Amino acid sequence: MLAASSSMAGEAHLTVSDRIDPGEWDQYVERHPEGSIDHLWRWRDVFSRVFDHQSTYLVARRSGAIAGVLPLVHFRSRLFGRFLVSVPFLNYGGVLASNGGAADALIARARDIAQSFGASHVELRHTGRQFTDLPCRAHKLKLTRPLPPTPEALWSAVDRKVRNQVRKAQKDGLTAHSGHSELIADFYTVFSRNMRDLGTPVYPRSLFDETARLFSHDLHVYVVRLGHAPVAAAIALRFRDTIIVPWASSLREHRQHCPNMLLYWTMLEHATQMGVATFDFGRSTRGAGTHQFKLQWGATETPLHWEYVLLSKSAVPDHGPTNAKFAAAIAVWQRLPLWVTETFGPAIVRNIP
Q: What is the pLDDT of residue 8?
A: 44
Tell me how many degrees the CA angle 128-133-138 measures, rounded to the nearest 5.
Answer: 40
CA 169 to CA 152: how far, in whole Å? 19
Q: Distance of alpha carbon 179 from its chain centroid, rounded? A: 21
Q: What is the pLDDT of residue 131?
A: 96
CA 219 to CA 129: how far, in whole Å? 29
Residue 328 domain flag: no
Quick: pLDDT tens for 11-45: 558 999 999 999 999 999 999 999 999 999 999 99
123 and 215 within one domain: no
Residues contacting 163, CB < 8 A, separation 6+: 155
Exposed (0-12), middle (13-18) or buried (19+): which is 258, by Cβ within 10 Å? Answer: buried
Q: What is the pLDDT of residue 271?
A: 97
237 and 176 within one domain: yes
If DSSP states are collapsed to H, E and C, what string results for 260-301? HHHHHHHHHHHHHHHCCCEEEEEEEECCCHHHHHHHCCCCEE
C-alpha distances in angstroms, 246 versus 6, 17, 54, 86, 331?
37, 30, 22, 16, 25
| DSSP SS3 for 229 | strand
Mean pLDDT of 73-79: 88
Could you give the percent of the chain with pLDDT greater than 90?
77
pLDDT band at 280 (very low <50, low <70, confident <90, very high): very high
Using the predicted structure, report yes or no on whether residue 91 has a pLDDT greater than 90. Answer: yes
Using the predicted structure, report yes or no on whether residue 3 has a pLDDT greater than 50. Answer: no
Mean pLDDT of 282-301: 91
Q: What is the pLDDT of residue 4?
A: 47
Cβ atoms of 113 and 71 closer than 8 Å:
no
Domain range spanning residue 109?
5-138+305-317
124 and 148 within one domain: no
Residue 91 domain flag: yes
Mean pLDDT of 202-210: 94
Least confident of 230-244, 249-263, 304-318, 334-348: 334-348
pLDDT band at 334 (very low <50, low <70, confident <90, very high): low
Mean pLDDT of 108-113: 97
How many structural domains are present in the chain?
A: 2
Mean pLDDT of 347-353: 75
Q: What is the pLDDT of residue 9?
A: 43
161 and 88 within one domain: no
129 and 157 within one domain: no
pLDDT band at 346 (very low <50, low <70, confident <90, very high): low
DSSP state of 323: S
Quick: pLDDT tens for 221-272: 999 999 999 999 999 999 999 999 999 999 999 999 999 999 999 999 999 9
Residue 347 domain flag: no
313 and 290 within one domain: no
Q: What is the pLDDT of residue 348?
A: 75
Using the predicted structure, report yes or no on whether residue 200 has a pLDDT greater than 90. Answer: no
Mean pLDDT of 214-221: 95
Using the predicted structure, report yes or no on whether residue 325 has a pLDDT greater than 70. Answer: no
Residue 335 domain flag: no
| DSSP SS3 for 49 | helix
179 and 109 within one domain: no
pLDDT band at 327 (very low <50, low <70, confident <90, very high): low
Task: Write the DSSP string, 108-161.
Answer: HHHHHHHHHHT-SEEEEEESS---TTS-EE--EEEEEEE--SSHHHHHHHS-HH
Q: What is the pLDDT of residue 233?
A: 98
Residue 330 domain flag: no
Mean pLDDT of the chain: 90
